[in-house]
Amino acid sequence: MVNYPKEHAKISVYDHGLLYGDGIYEGMRCYSGYVFQMNEHLERLMKSAKSLRIEIPYNKQEIGEFVLETLRKNRLNNAYIRLLVTRGIGAIGPDPRSCKRPSLIIIVEDLPNVHGTDALTKGISMAIVSIRRDAIDATSHEIKSLNYLNSIQTKMESIQYNADDAILLDSRGFISESPICNIFIYSNGEIATPHSGNGILLGITRQNVIEIAKEMGLSVVQRDITPYELINADEVFITGTHAEIVGVTKVNNIEIGSGCVGEITKQIMSRFRERTLNPKFGTPIEKQFV
């Protein structure tokens, strides 16, 4: 494994990850010397690889140790980790058979919440955009792939609306997700979130929120959610590794609930923060990954 500083990092222009977005990735976070739920992230990486028939030349334990070693070499106890596996270097043309060996890339950087630190207390605005989430029988977003054109298009549209982020609908008109986050609503004592049939990624943070909400005694359902239901929810929040948990205060310039980050959202955020700092849910940097 070769360690490059940011300004000298390199990849072949013939790598199919660059040429065709042919690859997968995982985003992880390290909190106070522990990589949060690394095993769950690596399990999802392997499932994505299987779905795209990418034969990674390392097992889960070896990749985990590469991640820990990268953190150690960069002396980072708190970091965002971007782990990428591309199809590898091959000939120009989409035929994957020309790629003989996948490329493994690990990026570690101390990055804040993707929406900015103020978003954790003030919340964000979102806009329901015209572009639909790719259908589950097309470029399924259950695979965490490098192909993010669908998400980039939606982000560009939300910027035109002066919103902090976008909300995509699925092919049937139900709520799907944001470009990089899962969506939750809270109304009348129930937490609801879209299901896999809505074209979403089954997020690691999403699963933590489901578990936390159940611990709080809340009813949690995964189902179709209409735009009307979302706009009229008591609370809305989004979840993701890079975003963590962020309250949504406006959708399409319509205030959600009181127009502030909701109390249930705040409680879930607090309990999630406790999890990220609990060694039970993390892998220590200073020990070998097993």
Compute and round to an integer the Cα radius of gyration of the chain: 19
What is the Cα 130 distance to its own chain's centre?
22
Give a three-class secondary structure readout of 206-226: HHHHHHHHHHCCCEEEECCCC
SS3 of 84-146? EEECCECCCCCCHHHCCCCEEEEEEECCCCCCCCCHHHHCEEEEEEEEECCCCCCCCCCCCEC
Distances (CA, A) of 153 to 131, 158, 252: 8, 9, 17
Q: What distances in angstroms separate CA 48 from CA 26, 83, 140, 244, 259, one per listed residue?
A: 10, 13, 10, 22, 38
Catalytic residues: 144
Rounded-to-integer distance, Cα 289 and Cα 61, Å: 6
Distances (CA, A) of 149 to 94, 99, 113: 17, 23, 22
Report which of 59, 32, 67 is spatially closest to residue 281, judged by C-alpha positions.
32
Q: 73: which 2 tokens?
A: 């070499």
